[in-house]
Amino acid sequence: MTTKKFLSLILTGALALTLSAPVQAEKLQTIEDSGISSKEKSRLINDYYNSLPKAKGEYKSRVRPIIVEGAMNTETEKLVRALKNPVVYRDLNYLFISGTYKNYPVVIVRTEQGMSNSAASTALAIKKFNPVAVINQGTSGGYKES
């Protein structure tokens, strides 16, 4: 398989994960649009993350994962809920949740806000998980409601 074809396949898979995760997550009764404050939503998402099984030992997979990053709970929660068999890794201040999506290994990284956090968590993720691709999604605060 050529490199170009391989990267196309990986990016198509990552795009499908990003686009279809909200649909999958809705089936899992997310707390989206529940009429509660964003602070309360974030607390509930943290409670959900804390309820996930903790990893024992180092990450092991025969297939190199795709890493999808988001700075805040609102950018990662639906993606995490779309994973099968999620497992939590923590390193320094960062949260890494590995699992599979359509039988492909994926690691969702909550980078926290800011370029320094994004750079640090990405470097840790690359070292820890040896990914085939890293996709960073979010608005970096650039979204303004009309």
Mean pLDDT score of the chain: 77
Q: Within a domain: residue 146? A: no
Q: Within a domain: residue 144? A: no
Tell me the three-class secondary structure of 24-57, residue by residue.
HHHHCCCCCCCCCCHHHHHHHHHHHHHHCCECCC
Q: Supply the range of the domain harboring residue 38.
A: 3-136
Q: Within a domain: residue 145? A: no
Distance of CA 114 to CAs 72, 110, 126, 140, Å?
11, 12, 18, 8
Q: Within a domain: residue 143? A: no
The band of 41, judged by pLDDT with boundaries at 50, 70 and 90, is confident
As for how many domains the chain has, the answer is: 1
Q: Is the pTM of this model over 0.85?
A: no
pLDDT in tens, 78-113: 889 899 999 999 888 888 999 999 899 999 998 888
Q: Within a domain: residue 74? A: yes
Phi, psi at 34, each rounded to 5°: -95, 5
Rg of the Cα trace of the chain? 15
Q: Within a domain: residue 48? A: yes
